[in-house]
Amino acid sequence: MDEQPEQHQQPEQREQREHHEQHGQQDPASIHTSVLLERTIELLGPVLGAPGAILVDCTLGLGGHSEAFLRAFPDLHLVGLDRDPNALRLAGERLAPFADRIDLVHCVYDEIDEALEGLGIDEVDGILFDLGVSSMQLDQVERGFSYSKDAPLDMRMDDTAAFTAAEIIATYSEADLRRIFRDYGEEKLADRYARKIVAARADGPILRSGHLVDIIQAATPAKFSHSGHPAKRVFQALRIEVNAELAVLERAIPRAIDALKVGGRIVVLAFHSLEDRIVKRELQARAASTAPAGLPVELPEHRPELKLLVRGAELADDDERARNPRSIPVRLRAAEKIRKIA
């Protein structure tokens, strides 16, 4: 949903915007337009209205979704997780009016169980994942996520971590580069790009995104030149590898479901098929009966743990796609917990 026009903003929102303008800072609310905001509120809202309800925003980012939920549900307590210290700082500023109703935790979202334990929380009512690289990370050129602007080959979502894209390019074997380009980028030219990168680094280190893009463009046959930017899938693969995104997600979704109370709900926004496949597999597995085939009566211990709330994966509608291009690839899945596994 687009940010509110100035005349409809709350006084504290205007004060925050004016403070950032006076200090030459960018207002977090102006950096990012939250994807499928109204739909996430519609799906999670039924379990968040009661006093003491707890929502975990596993990908806090700049706090757009979280702010909307805190405004919509005055008794809601929010736990916000993010691996990026800069995002936590900016989200903390944005959510300052709700300081008595929030806990922000610096961690990767597969540590949701540890984060909740540290806060003394046993179970929660709602969980939201808005996956993928954040607008802030894409827009900060120096983070190196973009193939369209020259920057150091970094791509760390947590800039306190040590492992960068430059290290991958410098140290991975041709076979390993080929594997991540194929598996994480679904790149048809993975073999060719891996071979050319290994040959190029023999002449000197590849430290900047512009240098890598030049190598990829030179290695791309003319017949593929009209299939989008040739570096797009390679950069996606490098980002996933640097941040171990898929391995983290595979651990996070089961732990998040385990943290839900009976009646609680989870909503996940995925932005590419690799993420969505992991989410789909886990939600569908837990929404299916575990009764052996041919059993005449389903025993209670075989009943599904989840009930799916949407059919398949929902996409953004045409209006939102036009309003917010970053919503174009989104796939939304949601489920309600109907049974707790002992």
Provide the annotated binding site for S-adenosyl-L-methionine. Answer: 63-65, 82, 109, 130, 137
Instruction: Report the binding-site residues.
Output: 63-65, 82, 109, 130, 137
SS3 call for 129: strand
H-helix or E-strand containing 86?
Answer: helix 85-94
C-alpha to C-alpha distance for 19 and 307, rounded to whole angstroms: 45
Q: Which amino acid is at 330?
A: V
CB 286 within 8 A of CB 305: yes
132 torsion bin: left (phi>0), alpha (psi -120 to 50), beta (else): left
Which residue, 128, 119, 153, is CA-closest to 269?
128
C-alpha to C-alpha distance for 149 and 144, rounded to whole angstroms: 8
Which residue, 324, 331, 258, 307, is CA-closest to 46?
307
Which residue, 232, 216, 239, is CA-closest to 134?
239
Q: Kindly give the residue spans of alpha helices, DSSP state H, lying in 220-259.
A: 232-243, 245-259
